[in-house]
Amino acid sequence: MILECPECRTRYLVPDSAVGVGGRTVRCANCRHSWFQDGPAPAPMPATDVPATAAPSLAASGFAPVGYAPSPITEPITGTPDAGFDAFAHRAPFRPRRNMARVRTIASIAAGLIMLALVGVILWTTAPGLAQQAGFNIGPAQSPLRIVDNPIERRQMTNGSELFAVSGRITNPSSAAQRVPDLRADLRDENGRVVFSWTITPQQRTLPANGAIDFNSAQVDVPASSKRLDLSFVGEAS
């Protein structure tokens, strides 16, 4: 019998016994489509002699004589099955195709997170000054260094300007060398609000264990409302 795939119209020539009288599920070797194929029609009854006088009445009724067979199919059979492929063997359902757009989105997010992590590691280990200038507080919550002896001097200069001078010492009471960050000087009014601030650069960046260095700085024409000076290390939690 001849089977024809309802999807791709590929045709196959198979023996009737391969399908059976009751039919069975078959699968196209070309497009992998499955369908239920009915069994072959029962064999026609042997043809009987029909009297010549009865032929016109049968033809006029529109029915073919007993034993009539349609013209054979002249269209060539196409779609040779793959080597070793059983068109009637059971196949598991197709696996769903991956959503490539979703896969690419997840990969982009993962790559972005990895890049952010690498930037954080670089800023933490090799560029603390750059990170502080960019607004990242990556320093310790409290530096072991200490600021002591910070006398303040305010005096009028000959040109009429007021000089505000501050000096002091930075000590390292710890048993290990410490990096010395910049100092931040904040002038506050009587209500504790910052009215003027500036940065003091230390004379050296590394302070040995139990070492100390002096610092001094001066500004002119600071606000007259400034009543208190607060000194802290840049990047240190307030």
Q: Which tens digits make up the pLDDT trace of 189-208?
A: 999 999 999 999 999 999 99
**pLDDT on residue 43:** 67
Q: Is 68 or 34 the better-scoring residue by pLDDT?
A: 34
Q: 83 pLDDT band (50/70/90 cuts)?
A: low
**pLDDT on residue 57:** 45
Mean pLDDT, the chain, rounded, equals: 76
Half-sphere CA count of 118, side-chain side, radius 13 A: 6
- Here the contacts of 191-197 (C-beta below 8 Å, separation 24 or greater) are 192/228, 195/223, 195/225, 195/226, 196/222, 196/223, 196/226
The per-residue b/e assignment along 190-217, b for 16 or more CB within 10 angstroms, e otherwise, is eeeeebbeeebebeeeebeeebeeebeb
Q: Is 2 or 209 the better-scoring residue by pLDDT?
A: 209
Mean pLDDT is lowest, of 107-111, 160-164, 182-186, 207-211, for: 160-164
Percent of the chain with pLDDT over 90: 30
Q: Is 128 or 190 the better-scoring residue by pLDDT?
A: 190
pLDDT value at 7 more than 50: yes
Highest mean pLDDT among 61-65, 82-86, 193-197: 193-197
pLDDT value at 109 more than 80: yes
**pLDDT on residue 214:** 94
**pLDDT on residue 74:** 44
Give the separation between CA 81 and CA 5, rounded to whole angstroms: 12
Domain boundaries, the chain: 1-42+72-95, 100-133, 146-233
**pLDDT on residue 69:** 44
Q: 121 pLDDT band (50/70/90 cuts)?
A: confident
| Topology of domain 146-233, CATH | Immunoglobulin-like (2.60.40)
Q: Which tens digits make up the pLDDT trace of 9-57?
A: 898 888 888 878 788 888 888 898 898 888 887 766 665 555 545 444 4
Mean pLDDT is lowest, of 36-45, 123-132, 174-183, for: 123-132
Give the separation between CA 65 and CA 48, rounded to whole angstroms: 9
Whether 1 contacts 14, CB under 8 Å: yes
**pLDDT on residue 140:** 47
